[in-house]
Protein backbone atom coordinates (compact mmCIF):
# COMPACT_ATOMS: atom_id res chain seq x y z
CA UNK A 1 0.00 0.00 0.00
CA UNK A 2 1.43 3.37 -0.97
CA UNK A 3 1.92 6.33 1.38
CA UNK A 4 -0.72 8.25 -0.58
CA UNK A 5 -3.23 5.45 -0.08
CA UNK A 6 -2.36 5.27 3.63
CA UNK A 7 -2.80 9.04 3.98
CA UNK A 8 -6.10 8.94 2.08
CA UNK A 9 -7.37 6.09 4.27
CA UNK A 10 -6.25 7.97 7.38
CA UNK A 11 -8.11 11.15 6.44
CA UNK A 12 -11.22 9.24 5.35
CA UNK A 13 -11.26 7.33 8.65
CA UNK A 14 -10.93 10.55 10.68
CA UNK A 15 -13.73 12.25 8.78
CA UNK A 16 -16.04 9.22 8.97
CA UNK A 17 -15.42 8.85 12.71
CA UNK A 18 -16.32 12.50 13.20
CA UNK A 19 -19.49 12.10 11.13
CA UNK A 20 -20.48 9.22 13.40
CA UNK A 21 -19.79 11.30 16.52
CA UNK A 22 -21.91 14.13 15.11
CA UNK A 23 -24.70 11.70 14.26
CA UNK A 24 -24.68 10.20 17.76
CA UNK A 25 -24.79 13.63 19.39
CA UNK A 26 -27.49 14.81 16.95
CA UNK A 27 -29.48 11.73 18.02
CA UNK A 28 -29.38 13.18 21.57
CA UNK A 29 -26.80 10.78 22.98
CA UNK A 30 -24.72 12.19 25.79
CA UNK A 31 -21.45 13.44 24.26
CA UNK A 32 -19.29 11.88 26.98
CA UNK A 33 -21.03 8.54 26.64
CA UNK A 34 -20.71 8.68 22.84
CA UNK A 35 -16.98 9.41 22.97
CA UNK A 36 -16.40 6.74 25.61
CA UNK A 37 -18.39 4.16 23.68
CA UNK A 38 -16.48 4.86 20.49
CA UNK A 39 -13.12 4.67 22.24
CA UNK A 40 -14.02 1.42 23.99
CA UNK A 41 -15.18 -0.07 20.69
CA UNK A 42 -12.00 0.89 18.88
CA UNK A 43 -9.67 -0.23 21.68
CA UNK A 44 -11.58 -3.51 22.04
CA UNK A 45 -11.20 -4.22 18.32
CA UNK A 46 -7.49 -3.35 18.44
CA UNK A 47 -6.84 -5.68 21.37
CA UNK A 48 -9.01 -8.44 19.95
CA UNK A 49 -7.25 -8.37 16.59
CA UNK A 50 -3.68 -7.99 17.77
CA UNK A 51 -1.49 -10.95 18.67
CA UNK A 52 0.97 -8.55 20.35
CA UNK A 53 -0.64 -6.30 22.95
CA UNK A 54 2.41 -4.00 22.84
CA UNK A 55 1.39 -3.10 19.29
CA UNK A 56 -1.93 -1.83 20.64
CA UNK A 57 -0.17 0.38 23.16
CA UNK A 58 1.98 1.82 20.36
CA UNK A 59 -1.03 2.46 18.11
CA UNK A 60 -2.91 4.22 20.91
CA UNK A 61 0.14 6.33 21.81
CA UNK A 62 0.71 7.28 18.19
CA UNK A 63 -2.96 8.17 17.76
CA UNK A 64 -2.91 10.42 20.84
CA UNK A 65 0.25 12.16 19.61
CA UNK A 66 -1.23 12.60 16.14
CA UNK A 67 -4.49 14.04 17.49
CA UNK A 68 -2.54 16.48 19.65
CA UNK A 69 -0.41 17.55 16.68
CA UNK A 70 -3.50 18.09 14.52
CA UNK A 71 -4.98 20.35 17.21
CA UNK A 72 -1.73 22.29 17.62
CA UNK A 73 -1.18 22.75 13.86
CA UNK A 74 -4.87 23.23 13.03
CA UNK A 75 -4.27 21.20 9.90
CA UNK A 76 -6.29 22.10 6.83
CA UNK A 77 -7.20 18.46 6.14
CA UNK A 78 -9.22 18.50 9.35
CA UNK A 79 -10.59 22.04 9.08
CA UNK A 80 -14.19 20.86 8.65
CA UNK A 81 -14.03 18.82 11.88
CA UNK A 82 -15.18 20.51 15.04
Distance CA 18, CA 81 (A): 7
At 69, is the pLDDT very low, low, confident or very high (cuts 50, 70, 90)?
confident
Note the pLDDT of residue 7.
81
Give 28-66 pLDDT, tens digit per residue: 999 889 889 999 999 999 999 999 888 999 999 999 998
Note the pLDDT of residue 66.
87
Distance CA 44, CA 9 (A): 21
| 70 vs 37: which has the higher pLDDT | 37
Say whether pTM exceeds 0.85. Answer: no
Structural domain boundaries in the chain:
3-78
Closest CA to 42 of 14, 22, 68: 14
Query: Which ranges of the chain would DSSP assign to H, the alpha helix?
Result: 3-26, 31-49, 53-73
The answer to whether 70 touches 78, Cβ cutoff 8 Å, is yes
Amino acid sequence: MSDTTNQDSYVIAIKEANKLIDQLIDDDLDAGAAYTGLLVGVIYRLILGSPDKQDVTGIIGNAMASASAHVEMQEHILSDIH
